[in-house]
Amino acid sequence: MRMYDIIRKKRDKEELTDEEIAFFIKGYTDGDIPDYQASALCMAIVLNGMSDRETAVLTDCMARSGDMLDLSRYGDKTVDKHSTGGVGDKTSLIVGPIAAALGATVAKMSGRALGHTGGTLDKLEAIPGYVTGLTDEEFFSVVDRAGMAIIGQTGNLTPADKKLYALRDVTATVDSIPLIVSSIMSKKLAAGSKNIVLDVKCGSGAFMKTLEDAEKLARSMVEIGRRCGRNMTALITDMDKPLGKAVGNALEVKEAIEVLRGNEKGDLYEVCVALASEMIALVKGIPAKDAEKQVIGAIEDGSAYKKMIEWVKTQGGDPRYIEDPSLFPAPKYAKRVCSPRDGYIGRMDAEKVGTTEVLLGAGRITKTDEIDHTAGLHIEKKTGDYVKKGDLLCTLYTGNEARFAEAEKRYLSGIVFSETAPAPVPLVYKIVR
């Protein structure tokens, strides 16, 4: 079998056989197939898609490309949450501690920034001392002591996705339903949780721009998970504008802390309550409305915030940064971006906000780029807000002043002003159960 023929077949819109998909995944994981051939095949998949059978086989091969974690020691209380990727999406840092405070076991594997979207691991590494790479024994030890852990794909879990994820990030091959389904579900199946809640983002800052595509993605992942014996729920949530106000690694950790302290009650809080309620509903087998009361209670009584401190400390992080977020190193440079005119913000192109973040140094342009954890932006005005000329729209932060010019231009190019207020859109479009 030759990789050349597999690429050619997909380029010509033919279906790949189970054996061809298995050959690609094994060969790429083992290092026998080079990056340039893998990226050519990914691009052909982006352009020509895959059938349900091909997607299921790809997911299965990727899940089995390494070890599969056995979480059966925690019974049926394990719960995972995974987002398809967004801008300002720091929900894992919030819903993890809420679910763990309510008795669920959160043994979670997260990813790094992908394309214009942020990554939970990059955010967590902004906390001094926090260790994202643990052995299986260390991972179980943190979960045993704190009730939760969030790690990277360490050890030998889904090595195929580890390589493909990094490759897709820099080859414009992220936004494809079969590639996203196989990437997310291979990790979720290998990571072993019994209950899985998916946050499928929809809109300009998401890989799925339309509700129709987002629903297709959600149904495909729910179906694959169910077939593998997992309890699944997917929420389709808005990503037409960034979530919350902070975009960038340390900035987002600080915003997550404020939500858990009960100080932030905007869109981020609401999406987190919706996600955490579905997680608790699955774990406890109760209606989501009842779960919601418990979730809100865990924020209001401080138990979710205390759980964050306990988890971060157990995973090597310095808890003083959670107790006093002013300790996070300040970004070296700040630049105010002001409105060029009066009017409503009719639309924000959230993908452009995400690329602004990357241009400021908070994401990677090539596979080996170092992240600037202080970089990012703080948004003051969002879709639907009325602004006057000169009002502050956002503040940009970076460690390299030369990055401001392009970043500011990119940010402003994503704002569409209008004379009238835009119609509000729901935060949660749909729940696929």
Q: Looking at the annotation, which residues are catalytic? A: 82, 161, 168, 183, 187
Q: Which helix H or strand E contains 247, and what residues bound it? A: strand 246-247
Q: 66 in helix, strand or coil?
A: coil
From candidates 87, 160, 180, 299, binder to ligand URA by CB under 6 A: 180
Nearest one of 213, 188, 200, 40 to 111, comparing CA atoms? 188
From candidates 37, 39, 158, 183, binder to ligand URA by CB under 6 A: 183
Dihedral, 78, 110, 396, 264 alpha carbons, nearest 10 = 0
Helices marked H in 285-383 — which ranges? 288-300, 303-314, 320-323, 350-359
Nearest one of 398, 421, 395 to 338, comparing CA atoms? 395
| Least spacing, CB of residue 332 vs ligand URA, in Å | 31
Build a one-symbol-per-residue string for 392-431: x at contacts with ligand URA by CB under 6 A, - elsewhere: ----------------------------------------
Among the residue ranges 23-31, 175-183, 326-334, 347-355, the one whose residues contact ligand URA (CB under 6 A): 175-183
From candidates 84, 132, 233, 355, binder to ligand URA by CB under 6 A: 84
Q: Is residue 71 part of the contact set for ligand URA (CB under 6 A)?
A: no
| Least spacing, CB of residue 153 vs ligand URA, in Å | 10
| Least spacing, CB of residue 414 vs ligand URA, in Å | 21
Tell me the helices (H) and strands (E) count for the chain, helix number first.
Answer: 17, 13
List of E strands, 17-168: 79-83, 106-109, 148-151
Question: What is the rounded distance in angstroms from the CA atom of residue 62 to the CA atom of residue 179?
Answer: 11
Q: Is residue 196 part of the contact set for ligand URA (CB under 6 A)?
A: no
**Which residues, at least 6 apart from 247, have a Cβ–Cβ distance to it below 8 Å?**
87, 88, 118, 353, 354, 356, 357, 362, 376, 377, 378, 379
Q: Is residue 111 part of the contact set for ligand URA (CB under 6 A)?
A: yes
From candidates 87, 149, 184, 208, binder to ligand URA by CB under 6 A: 184
| Least spacing, CB of residue 246 vs ligand URA, in Å | 20
Nearest one of 279, 240, 284, 283 to 383, comparing CA atoms? 240
Question: What is the rounded distance in angstroms from the CA atom of residue 365 to the CA atom of residue 377?
Answer: 18
Nearer to ligand URA, 78 or 110 (CB): 110
From candidates 23, 54, 55, 85, binder to ligand URA by CB under 6 A: 85
| Least spacing, CB of residue 250 vs ligand URA, in Å | 22
Among the residue ranges 174-182, 273-281, 350-358, 377-385, the one whose residues contact ligand URA (CB under 6 A): 174-182
**What residue ranges bind ligand URA (CB under 6 A)?**
84-85, 111, 114, 174, 179-180, 183-184
